[in-house]
């Protein structure tokens, strides 16, 4: 399954020329990942409160193909591609209509943030694994 997240480019997202600043594509992708989990019935705050776990970007490779500009309507497509014990991989694509603007290859890591606060890797909870695995298999 591929999750779809729609957004609009605001003035705050652009440089003085009205072009989206490159780092803001990472923010768009982050919002899309958060909304994907929420739509799957998982909220970051609940995982943190219940399990003391959080997700962090471990790796992100981005190809910027074409610029987005002020007032563009964009869509971020997010697909879970692989599930590990304490991490999962995603492909994310920022689109304007049928035109690819940026392609992201992301590895998300699950880590312990409550208790010793070491941020050490932690297994993804079974309920979340089931939801993400079903998503990856769809």
CA-CA-CA-CA torsion for 8, 10, 12, 15, nearest 10 degrees?
100
Q: Please identify which of the residues 6, 15, 63, 127 carries the catalytic annotation.
A: 15
Q: 75, 25 in Cβ contact below 8 A?
A: no
Helix (H) or strand (E) holding 50: helix 44-51
Helix, strand, or coil (residue 21): coil
Report how far residue 72's alpha carbon sits from residue 10's, in angstroms, rounded to the nearest whole number.
8
Q: Is 15 one of the annotated active-site residues of the chain?
A: yes
The catalytic residues are 15
């Amino acid at each position: 399954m591929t999750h779809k997240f729609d957004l609009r480019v605001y003035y705050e997202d652009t440089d003085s020329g009205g072009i989206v600043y490159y780092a803001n594509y990472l923010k768009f992708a982050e919002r899309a990942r958060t909304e994907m989990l929420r739509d799957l019935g998982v909220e970051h705050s609940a995982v943190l409160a219940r399990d003391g776990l959080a997700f962090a970007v471990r790796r992100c490779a981005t190809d910027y193909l074409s610029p987005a500009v002020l007032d563009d309507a964009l869509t971020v497509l997010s697909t879970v591609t692989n599930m590990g014990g304490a991490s999962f991989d995603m492909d994310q694509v920022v689109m304007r209509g049928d035109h690819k603007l940026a392609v992201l290859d992301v590895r998300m890591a699950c880590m312990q943030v409550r208790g010793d606060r070491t941020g050490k890797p932690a297994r993804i909870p079974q309920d979340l694994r089931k939801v993400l695995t079903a998503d990856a298999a769809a």
